[in-house]
Amino acid sequence: MSLLGAINLGDIFVLVFIGLFLGLGFVMIRMAYRQHKQDQQQVKDVAEALGWEHGYGDEMVLDRFGIPYVTRITSAHRTPERTVEIARSLESDGVQVVIVGAGLAAHLAGVVASYTTLPVIGVPMDGGPLSGVDALHSTVQMPSGIPVATVAIGKHGARNAGVLAAEILAIATPELKEKLSAYRRERGDAVAAKDRELADRKKTATEGD
């Protein structure tokens, strides 16, 4: 089974591929079950970071910026024809930016990039025996002429993919640029608030002594 998340509705198209390892025999089935649990966590991480669902306690990047999207399911290896069909229809569907998350042998971002001139952002997902390093190499090592803008492994990379997509769209959308500026200020203010809190704790501890 492969999971593909797609963002559409005119602004972003997100593809998220999660490969499910299927094995034979008792030991292999146990490995497949473990991988399936990792796949489920990857789905939650991407959903949290990109705003596909709520309830994980962190801000939803795409929802935060008011960027509409839809989700899709496909696989570069198990449904290659469907993947090509989706990739070829991106521009005619009004898509402007593509975010692709993939784990293990993460070829989905590269395949999509080879069928469109839209900017493609790749999110290498963690999990598997190499903890996402294999996905990172598969996503970032693209040949000349077919770029994939690759972010960090896992949840932090997924969040940055959402922010980067917003920054790309903000080039032609002043309102979105203002939201991004406010987002940066708020994150900076949060750091400053934590610093003040730490200083207050130290001061209180010193006075107590």
Percentage of the chain modeled with pLDDT above 90: 39
Looking at the fold, whether 158 and 178 belong to one and the same domain comes out as no
Q: Pick the range with the lowest mean pLDDT from 57-61, 160-164, 184-188.
A: 57-61
pLDDT at 16 over 90: no
Measured CA to CA, the distance from residue 60 to residue 49 in angstroms comes to 6
Q: With CA atoms as reference, report the closest residue to 167 among 115, 99, 104, 116.
A: 99
Q: Measured between alpha carbons, how far is residue 107 from residues 45, 113, 208 in Å?
A: 19, 10, 58
Tokens of 59: 């801000």
User: Which of 18-22, 33-37, 82-86: highest mean pLDDT?
Assistant: 82-86
More confident residue, 60 or 199: 199
Looking at the fold, whether 168 and 140 belong to one and the same domain comes out as yes
Q: What is the pLDDT of residue 70?
A: 64
Q: What is the pLDDT of residue 78?
A: 84
More confident residue, 38 or 98: 98
CATH number reported for the structural domain that contains residue 125 in this entry: 3.40.50.1970
Contact 68, 10 (CB under 8 A): yes
Looking at the fold, whether 154 and 115 belong to one and the same domain comes out as yes
Looking at the fold, whether 190 and 107 belong to one and the same domain comes out as no
| Structural domains in the chain (count) | 2
Looking at the fold, whether 136 and 195 belong to one and the same domain comes out as no
Q: What is the pLDDT of residue 46?
A: 56
Find the distance separating the first CA and the last CA of the chain, reported in whole Å. Answer: 61
Q: Could you write out the three-class secondary structure of 132-164?
A: CHHHHHHHHCCCCCCCCEECCCHHHHHHHHHHH
Looking at the fold, whether 181 and 149 belong to one and the same domain comes out as no
Residue 16 domain boundaries: 2-172
- Using alpha carbons only, what angle is made at residue 107 by residues 103 and 111, rounded to the nearest 5 degrees? 140
Looking at the fold, whether 178 and 201 belong to one and the same domain comes out as yes
Q: Each residue of 171-206: pLDDT tens digit?
A: 999 999 999 999 999 999 999 999 999 988 888 877
Looking at the fold, whether 137 and 205 belong to one and the same domain comes out as no
Q: What is the pLDDT of residue 101?
A: 86
Q: What is the pLDDT of residue 45?
A: 56
Contact 128, 31 (CB under 8 A): no
Looking at the fold, whether 201 and 110 belong to one and the same domain comes out as no
Q: What is the pLDDT of residue 206?
A: 77
Q: What is the pLDDT of residue 44?
A: 57
Looking at the fold, whether 60 and 33 belong to one and the same domain comes out as yes
Overall average pLDDT of the 132-153 stretch: 94
pLDDT at 142 over 80: yes
Q: Could you write out the three-class secondary structure of 105-135?
A: CCCHHHHHHHCCCCCEEEEECCCCCCCCHHH
pLDDT averaged over the chain?
Answer: 76
Q: Measured between alpha carbons, how far is residue 196 from residues 45, 187, 205, 206 in Å?
A: 30, 14, 14, 15
Which pTM value belongs to this model?
A: 0.73
More confident residue, 36 or 79: 79
Looking at the fold, whether 157 and 208 belong to one and the same domain comes out as no
User: In one letter, which amino acid is 102?
Assistant: A
pLDDT at 155 over 80: yes
Looking at the fold, whether 80 and 7 belong to one and the same domain comes out as yes
